[in-house]
Amino acid sequence: VTSSLVIPAAGSGARLGRSVPKALVELAGVPLLVRTLERLACSAKFVETVVLAPAASIDALSEVVDRVADAQARALGSVRVVAGGATRQQSVAIGIAALRERSAVVCVHDAARPFVAPATVRAVLGAARAHGAATAASRPSDSVRIDEAGGSSAALERSRLWLVETPQAFTRELLERAHAEAAREGREFTDDASLVEAAGATIRVVASEGRNIKVTVEADLVLGEELLRRQAG
């Protein structure tokens, strides 16, 4: 079964607050986007990869992507950098439209998650092949409450809750149909599993192996460097 890879990397990283897009921010000297692509490359084999870049930074991201693309051509297939959209959902929609191969499965993975375990990528792809739609997720470590009427709140059952991550993978036709439907209805989702679910599909959850953090704020870079030290040792 063939798979294609879509990497949303078109965000500015406002919460990180650097002068360069988040995908180019370096962790121990290596840009996040390079780390993420290398991690995916050692996880599975893709026939093609589309990276969504901020429109103003296409050249800068292309330069960084080219380094990985040549070395990892066998794993990432042909790699292209395309201008993303105003929201993550729009970026993914552009990425899907830019795919040239008619792969059975499309995997979507944020550039901002460079620590994903190869086993997680493989498990998500396997679950998508078998069931149509899957996401990586982790259990919350905090207790979680939900707002109730009248200023009250209620405890949720933590052991049944999942914090949704990427990678997410879907049969290509399902993902294409779900994005077309969301665009038609003008609905905006923060992740593709929610968008595909709204189109009527059920989502398989795969528990992430290890820590699959999203680099969002400065403190995540500090944690990231610690994770690198541990993964190296």
According to DSSP, residue 215 is labeled: -
The reply on whether position 8 binds ligand CTP by CB under 6 A is yes
Binding mask 88-117 for ligand CTP (x = CB under 6 A): x--x------------------xxx-----
Question: 210: Cβ–Cβ under 8 A, 6 or more apart, which residues?
Answer: 115, 117, 120
Minimal distance in Å, beta carbon 80 to ligand CTP?
A: 14
User: Which x/- pattern over 6-45 shows residues binding Mg ion (rule: CB under 5 A)?
Assistant: -----x----------------------------------
Nearer to Mg ion, 11 or 167 (CB): 11
31 binds ligand CTP (CB under 6 A): no
Asked if 9 and 51 count as a contact pair (C-beta separation under 8 A), the reply is: yes
Least distance between ligand CTP and beta carbon 85 (Å):
6
Least distance in Å: CB of 150 to ligand CTP? 33
Provide CB contacts within 8 A for 195, sequence distance 6+.
Answer: 89, 178, 179, 182, 187, 189
Query: How many Cα atoms sit within 13 Å of 34 on the Cβ side?
Result: 19
Least separation in angstroms between CB 160 and ligand CTP: 25
Please state, in angstroms and rounded to a whole number, the distance separating the CA atoms of residues 58 and 143.
41
**Choice between 91 and 103, CB closer to Mg ion:** 91
Classify residue 204 by its DSSP letter.
Answer: E
Closest contact distance (angstroms) between CB of 92 and ligand CTP is 7
Rounded Cα distance, 81 and 39, in Å: 18
Q: Are 166 and 203 in contact (CB under 8 A)?
A: no
List of residues contacting ligand CTP (CB under 6 A): 8-15, 22-23, 52, 84-88, 91, 110-112, 214, 216
